[in-house]
C-alpha cells in the first residue's frame, strides 16, 4: 500500500506471448500491456479487461494505481490506452511507473458544479473554454479532478479564471492564472424576420382602358394617313 494515499490495485501477470499471438489473449478477455519507467526494464504484462475497465473509470490517466505483478507492487499511472478503431474496445495499455518522491506533471479534468445565475436569471449562455488544466505535484498529491463552482457567474460577460479554481496543497498550476475557464456570454439575438413583400395586384381596368386608348390612336393614325395619301395622289395627277 502506498503511504499517505488511498490507491486502487490492479493485478497483472507477466506476459510471454508477443506479436500476433496476443490476439488469443484479447479473445479471452485479456489486454496486453507494458510497464516501463525510469531505471526500469520494460515488463510485458497482461491484465483482465473487466478489472482494468473498473480501475480506469475511477483513476483515469492522472491517478496513481498500485499495479501488482507477481506479488510485487508498482506505483504506476496509465500513460496510454489504445483502442480498436472498429469496436472501440481497449486493445493495449501502457503503464508508467512513478517515483512517489518526484514531482510529475499531469492534466487534471475540470468538473463544473452549481448553477450560473447569469444563465438562469438573465438568459446568458455558459461558454466553457477549458476542460482540463496542467499541474505539477508529487504523484500522491495529484487530484483526480478539480471542481469549478459556477455559482459566482451572476452576470452577462462575467468569467471565472484559472486563478479562481481551488487546488489542493502541494499542487502547482502550470496554466496562466488569467486564462478564462468559463464565461457567461450574451444570449443570441433573434434575427428580424424579413417582411413579407406586399405586391399590389395589377389594375386590370387601367390596363384595359390604356389598351383601348392605344387602339383608338392607331386607328386614327391609319385614317389620317390614308386621307393624306389620297390627297397627295390627287395633286400628282393634276400636275400631269
What local confidence, expressed as pLDDT, does residue 84 receive?
86
Q: Over the stretch 128-183, which tens digit does the pLDDT of each residue have?
A: 999 999 999 999 899 989 999 999 999 999 999 999 999 999 999 999 999 999 99
From CA 102, how far away is CA 91, in angstroms rounded? 30
Whether 83 and 90 have beta carbons less than 8 Å apart is answered as yes
| 3-12, 52-61, 64-73, 105-114: range with lowest mean pLDDT | 3-12
pTM exceeding 0.75: no
Higher-scoring residue by pLDDT: 240, 115:
115
For the chain, domain boundaries: 8-99, 105-185
From CA 33, how far away is CA 43, in angstroms rounded? 8
From CA 3, how far away is CA 91, in angstroms rounded? 32
Which has the closest alpha carbon to 77: 50, 105, 116, 117?
105
* C-beta neighbour count of 169 within 10 angstroms: 6
What local confidence, expressed as pLDDT, does residue 237 receive?
55
- What cell was used for 24? 488469443
Element (H, E) at 13: strand 8-14
From CA 26, how far away is CA 91, in angstroms rounded? 7
Helix (H, G, I), strand (E, B) or coil at 177: coil
What local confidence, expressed as pLDDT, does residue 1 receive?
41
pLDDT over 60 (residue 106):
yes
Higher-scoring residue by pLDDT: 201, 71:
71
pLDDT over 50 (residue 4):
no
Confirm whether 8-99 and 105-185 share one CATH topology.
no
Strands (E), 22-141: 30-37, 40-48, 65-69, 72-83, 90-97, 104-113, 125-128, 132-137
pLDDT over 70 (residue 6):
no
Question: What is the CATH T-level fold of the domain 8-99, as seen in this structure?
Answer: Ribosomal Protein L25; Chain P (2.40.240)
Specify the CATH class of 105-185 in words. mainly beta
- What cell was used for 226? 390614308
Whether 118 and 153 have beta carbons less than 8 Å apart is answered as yes
Supply φ then ψ for residue 136, to 5 degrees: -125, 135
pLDDT over 90 (residue 215):
no
Q: Over the stretch 64-95, which tens digit does the pLDDT of each residue have?
A: 999 999 889 999 999 999 998 888 889 999 99
- DSSP label of 180: E
Whether 132 and 112 have beta carbons less than 8 Å apart is answered as no
What local confidence, expressed as pLDDT, does residue 160 receive?
96
What local confidence, expressed as pLDDT, does residue 19 receive?
73
Amino acid at each position: 500500500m502506498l503511504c499517505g494515499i488511498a490507491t486502487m490495485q490492479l493485478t497483472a501477470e507477466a506476459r510471454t506471448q508477443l506479436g500476433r499471438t496476443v490476439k488469443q489473449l484479447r479473445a479471452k478477455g485479456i489486454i496486453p500491456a507494458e510497464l516501463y519507467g525510469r531505471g526500469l526494464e520494460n515488463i510485458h504484462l497482461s491484465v483482465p479487461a473487466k478489472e482494468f475497465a473498473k480501475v480506469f473509470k475511477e483513476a483515469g490517466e492522472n491517478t496513481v494505481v498500485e499495479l501488482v505483478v507477481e506479488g510485487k507492487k508498482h506505483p504506476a499511472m496509465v500513460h496510454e490506452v489504445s483502442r480498436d478503431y472498429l469496436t472501440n474496445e481497449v486493445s493495449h495499455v501502457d503503464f508508467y511507473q512513478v517515483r512517489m518522491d518526484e514531482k510529475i506533471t499531469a492534466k487534471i479534468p475540470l468538473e463544473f458544479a452549481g448553477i450560473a445565475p447569469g444563465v438562469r436569471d438573465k438568459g446568458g449562455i455558459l461558454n466553457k473554454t477549458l476542460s482540463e488544466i496542467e499541474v505539477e505535484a508529487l504523484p500522491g498529491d495529484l487530484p483526480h479532478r478539480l471542481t469549478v463552482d459556477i455559482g459566482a457567474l451572476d452576470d452577462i460577460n462575467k468569467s471565472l479564471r484559472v486563478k479562481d479554481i481551488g487546488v489542493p496543497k502541494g499542487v502547482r498550476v502550470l496554466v496562466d492564472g488569467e486564462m478564462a475557464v468559463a464565461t457567461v456570454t450574451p444570449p443570441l439575438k433573434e434575427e428580424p424576420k424579413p417582411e413579407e413583400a406586399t405586391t399590389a395586384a395589377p389594375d386590370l381596368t387601367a390596363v384595359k382602358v390604356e389598351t383601348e386608348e392605344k387602339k383608338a390612336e392607331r386607328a386614327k393614325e391609319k385614317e389620317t394617313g390614308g386621307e393624306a395619301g389620297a390627297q397627295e395622289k390627287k395633286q400628282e395627277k393634276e400636275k400631269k
